[in-house]
Amino acid sequence: MNIEATRGDITAEQVDAIVNAANGALRRGAGVCGAIFEAAGPDLDAACAAIGACATGDAVVTPGFALPARWIVHTVGPVWHGGDRGEPAALASCYRRSIEVARSVGATSIAFPAISTGIFGYPIRAAAEIAVATAREHAGAFEIVRLVAFDEATREAYRELLV
């Protein structure tokens, strides 16, 4: 298994599955979620509406539609409230469930955004530690696990942890 850290646009990733940092209603949102919906096209809105919802820490899958990735795994990260309301366990569950769901549709490569670090407020370093640890623990069936950072600080946190 190869875990990589990069900075870039997750919607352009050439992998079997990308992960969407979704909201519980699986609706078009801001940040990574909005970019994925925009790039995938209007069929994604209909596919997510048909699923209906996703609980925090869980994951569901849709086709990638207009994206290079064949699949989009949607996971709902926790909102940061200081770390004492189960946020670490919920975030680890996001990565674990995303891996399980991607494997269930035959994906052998996957790209993750920094789940919950945007408007949900999760501290970057703490989130990166969970992302790297969970990828190492559960991603054995993948040829590539790519951690895609939107900014340099997040990419650097991943790189430090991957050494």
The model's pLDDT over 19-57, given as tens digits with 9 standing for 90+, comes to 999 999 999 999 999 999 999 999 999 999 999 999 999
Q: How far is CA 119 from CA 32, 40, 80, 115, in A?
A: 10, 21, 9, 10
| CB-CB neighbours of 48 under 10 Å | 24
Average pLDDT over residues 145-163: 97
The model's pLDDT over 58-97, given as tens digits with 9 standing for 90+, comes to 999 999 999 999 999 999 999 999 999 999 999 999 999 9
CATH superfamily of 2-162: Leucine Aminopeptidase, subunit E, domain 1 (3.40.220.10)
- For 14, counting Cβ atoms within 10 Å of its Cβ (0-12 exposed, 13-18 middle, 19+ buried), the class is exposed
Boundaries of every domain in the chain: 2-162
pLDDT of the residue at 50: 98
Q: Exposure string (b/e) for 73-88, b if CB count within 10 Å is 16 or more?
A: bbbbbbebeeeeeebb
Cα distance between residue 87 and residue 127, in whole Å: 10
